[in-house]
Structure 1
């Protein structure tokens, strides 16, 4: 019995290593996505959505893990800095004058499909 439990736990641990990336949302789905938090949803609608929910803007599409994962690997601090300072075509603060750093962190996590900070 104990050996079966150990084998099951080992198999689950190995399965977690091969994390499957969910498929990117379709353009139609991307337009409908929004953060669950009401404040973040409002900020997203008025600042982020114009670029991150539209294809061909050059911005990574909301919750497109294939596009966001390389950016995510840079670390949240780098993404926050890029958001606040501006980066390439991204305007400083994403043109969100009402956003605090904690708002940006929540918005980045939402858009990157990483709402769980782990």
Structure 2
């Protein structure tokens, strides 16, 4: 093989190698960009006293949520499936002894917690009145 063909072959191989490296590098950056987009923060935190002019404002509440709304958004997690011994919604036998203790006791247990049930069933956005409405809703549908 002549010296010119060897040099030409080497140059072609070098060119192909450089092109492949450039392609791989560009793909690597594209993957990094994709990952960065997926793990970017979903929002920002605005604390009282901070300049939050750019922060979106949450819609004002139109009043207390109904017992059914609170049950569906919070209580159903445990009372729908009977998690950790929670009496199931709509099961009269499971609720009979509890209902017999009176609504004041049921409201107190739901608000302050009782046995495996944490206070307000961990509904940190629920007012006492909303928790009581949820208890009333459950009892009405579990007798």
TM bin, normalised by shorter chain, reads: 0.5 to 0.7
Q: Which ranges of structure 2 fall in alignment gaps of 5 or more residues? A: 1-64
- 2:115 paired residue number: 88
- Distance (whole Å) between structure 2 residues aligned to residue 96 and residue 56 of structure 1: 16
Identify the range of structure 1 (78-87 vs 53-62) with the bigger mean alpha-carbon deviation: 53-62
- Distance (whole Å) between structure 2 residues aligned to residue 76 and residue 82 of structure 1: 10
- Distance (whole Å) between structure 1 residues aligned to residue 109 and residue 98 of structure 2: 10
Q: Which ranges of structure 1 fall in alignment gaps of 5 or more residues? A: 1-37
State the Cα distance separating 1:98 from its structure 2 match.
2.1
Equivalent residue pairs, number: 78
State the Cα distance separating 1:52 from its structure 2 match.
0.3
Counterparts of 1:34-45 in structure 2, within 5 Å, are: 39-45=66-72
Larger Rg: 2
- 2:78 paired residue number: 51
SS of the counterpart of 1:105? helix
Which runs of at least 4 in structure 1 moved beyond 6 Å after TM superposition? Answer: none
TM-score by length of 1: 0.57
